[in-house]
Amino acid sequence: MENEGRRILIVGGVAGGASAAARARRLCEHCTIVVFDRGPFVSFANCGLPYYVGNVIENERDLLVATPELFRQRFDIDVRVEHEVLAIDREAKRIHVRNLRDGKDFDEAYDALILSPGAKALRPPLEGIDLPGIFVLRTIPDSRKIRAWIDETRAKRAVIIGGGFIGLEMAENLVHRGLQVHIVEMAPQLLPPVDPEMAVYVQEELEGKGVALHLGESVRAFTGEAGASLAVHTKTGTVLPADLVILAMGVRPETRLAKEAGLELGPRGGIRVDAQMRSSDPHIWAVGDAVEVSFVGSDDAALVPLAGPANRQGRIAADAIFGRSSNFRGVQGTAVCGVFDLTVAASGMNEKTLRRAGMTNFETIYLHPGHHAGYYPGAKPIHMKLLFSVPEGRILGVQAVGAAGVERRVDVLSMAMQKEATVFDLEEAELCYAPQFGAAKDPVNLAGMIAANVLRGDMPLAQWEDLPTHQGLLLDVREEKEFAAGHLEGAIHLPLSELRQRLDELDSKREIWVYCGVGQRGYYATRLLNQRGFRARNLSGGITTARTYGGNRS
């Protein structure tokens, strides 16, 4: 029988490993599949762990997507938990394994080996890092320990080190458990995958919910006597008392096995693989957080530790082992995070990364459409930022924040990016619409239309970051009441409804930067002015975007 007796061994039985195992069985009924995991569980929902700590998920068993018994019964897959793979003998095609329950070692032969060992949480060698009460969150046992610590010590104050997705999810969940939460983040903003002016919405949400932010601060040391409360010391001298500290400082690919076996690593320290997830050894595949892959649309190597890519890569590795021609397209870093009443999502490159890479042939637009039709009750703004190449209009990245409808728009744009669509395609995208779900011009269409207007030369843009050095006229075209409630410093006021009649009040020799609330009336005014002999630009995103930057209001 085809593949009879062929042995597929898998290291790591969670996102990538479990997907690979199940796919391998679907492709081959006659081979032997064995999964080793050093932890007590396989196929658990790491992504649910913050919500288990927060007691939103109350029952630990709900985190188990599949058990070893289910793997055995449903798929005839031999899952060995609490078995650590210690070494790979590539010459003999064998792995060396330790049963952590009885300490006994043994070897297993493979025809194909898949590595999905994940990543480990960063724990820098800071003074006091091993004190009781300081935790990382990667596994169910980690979350159990944090829950027990909160209950046993009746913890009231938590300090989270790191303001990425996991840090923010933990902040929300610890507030939910009644703790006073501080976040210490080394960067001047939260959420490194988004740009600073987009992170501001999230920062405001957290502060509004009572979370204290310490941005631009890094930790120097932790102190505390046994049993007494801890203190977090930052490099600027801030001392934060804490009953609980969560280290959410990022992860590093788990590459020990691969490195010791002489597999090639890439420039970012992950296992190097080809599009079929094959490592530098033709009999070994690697997937998930441990590998580096290319970023869609570029040749740059990237480490993107997310569950979606790990699952897809596991499937592709199994396909490749059984001779199918699936290829991994690369990552885009498509991610979403709930932060109290807000959702923040992003896909593709952000502006910081583009600038760091020296790219200049791109443009940025901001928009703030409602998540559904304005006439239907309850529309909430989605703050969006779209980056696209000039002059082609290829979509390079999107970021969005809002109370509802955010992930749907980012998902659509993410797919568009994967298919190398342009902003002109977004103008034409046909999307769902009924008043409670969207608008006849969906935010995705609007983003395309705005970007296409820029590329066609219909709407010259001005950007918030250039406001401080702007020498021309700043024109606010909103209504009297809006202007009176707050406007950009130095702005003159001519509402759009009166603009045609009062053009003689404007100096036609100076460039005019027009703005309104979100950019729409500014666009109308810019069109009007430019067709009547003025040189006008529309401030992208209007005062709403400028405000996030602390845009000078008076």
Q: Which residues are catalytic?
A: 47
524 burial type by CB count under 10 A (0-12 exposed, 13-18 middle, 19+ buried): middle
- The distance of closest approach from Cβ of residue 328 to ligand FAD in the complex, given in angstroms and rounded to an integer, is 13
360 burial type by CB count under 10 A (0-12 exposed, 13-18 middle, 19+ buried): exposed
Q: Which of residues 8-37 bind ligand FAD (CB under 6 A)?
A: 11-12, 14-17, 36-37
Helices 307-321 and 15-27, packing angle to 10 deg: 30
Q: Does 84 bind ligand FAD (CB under 6 A)?
A: yes
- For ligand FAD, which stretch binds (CB under 6 A), given 45-53, 152-160, 207-215, 383-391? 45-53
- The distance of closest approach from Cβ of residue 544 to ligand FAD in the complex, given in angstroms and rounded to an integer, is 28
Q: Does 122 bind ligand FAD (CB under 6 A)?
A: no
Residue choice 117, 192, 541, 542 for contact with ligand FAD (CB under 6 A): 117
Within the chain, what is the greatest distance between any pair of CA atoms? 90
Question: Could you give the C-alpha distances from 277 to 213, 254, 444, in angstroms and in order?
Answer: 40, 16, 33
374 burial type by CB count under 10 A (0-12 exposed, 13-18 middle, 19+ buried): exposed
Element (H, E) at 113: strand 112-115
Q: Which of residues 298-337 bind ligand FAD (CB under 6 A)?
A: 305-308, 310
Q: In the chain, what is the straight-line distance between the N-terminal and C-terminal CA atoms, in Å?
A: 79
Query: What distance in Å separates the CA atoms of residue 133 and residue 126, rounded to the nearest whole number?
Result: 15
Nearest to residue 382, comparing CAs of 414, 345, 354, 348? 345
How many residues of this chain bind ligand FAD (CB under 6 A)? 32
Q: Which of residues 238-267 bind ligand FAD (CB under 6 A)?
A: 254, 257
Name the residue whose CB lies closest to ligand FAD. 288
Q: Where are the beta strands (DSSP E) in 219-306?
A: 219-223, 230-234, 239-242, 244-247, 251-253, 271-272, 284-286, 291-294, 301-302
Amino acid at 285: W
Nearer Cβ to ligand FAD (193/405): 193
Q: Which of residues 416-455 bind ligand FAD (CB under 6 A)?
A: none
- The distance of closest approach from Cβ of residue 2 to ligand FAD in the complex, given in angstroms and rounded to an integer, is 28
- The distance of closest approach from Cβ of residue 188 to ligand FAD in the complex, given in angstroms and rounded to an integer, is 24
Count CB atoms within 10 A of the CB of residue 346: 27
Q: Does 46 bind ligand FAD (CB under 6 A)?
A: yes
- For ligand FAD, which stretch binds (CB under 6 A), given 64-72, 184-192, 226-234, 287-295? 287-295
Nearest to residue 254, comparing CAs of 141, 125, 115? 115
Question: Could you give the C-alpha distances from 105 to 81, 108, 248, in angstroms and in order?
Answer: 14, 10, 34
φ, ψ for residue 176 (rounded to 5)? -60, -35
Residue choice 31, 33, 49, 459 for contact with ligand FAD (CB under 6 A): 49
Nearer Cβ to ligand FAD (20/494): 20
Q: Does 137 bind ligand FAD (CB under 6 A)?
A: yes
Q: Does 364 bind ligand FAD (CB under 6 A)?
A: no
Residue choice 28, 39, 183, 455 for contact with ligand FAD (CB under 6 A): 39
Q: Does 87 bind ligand FAD (CB under 6 A)?
A: no
- The distance of closest approach from Cβ of residue 11 to ligand FAD in the complex, given in angstroms and rounded to an integer, is 5
- The distance of closest approach from Cβ of residue 415 to ligand FAD in the complex, given in angstroms and rounded to an integer, is 16
Residue choice 79, 159, 166, 512 for contact with ligand FAD (CB under 6 A): 166
What residues are paired with 107 via a beta bridge? 96
Q: Does 64 bind ligand FAD (CB under 6 A)?
A: no
| Residues at the interface with ligand FAD (CB under 6 A) | 11-12, 14-17, 36-39, 46-47, 49-50, 84-85, 116-118, 137-138, 166, 254, 257, 288-290, 305-308, 310
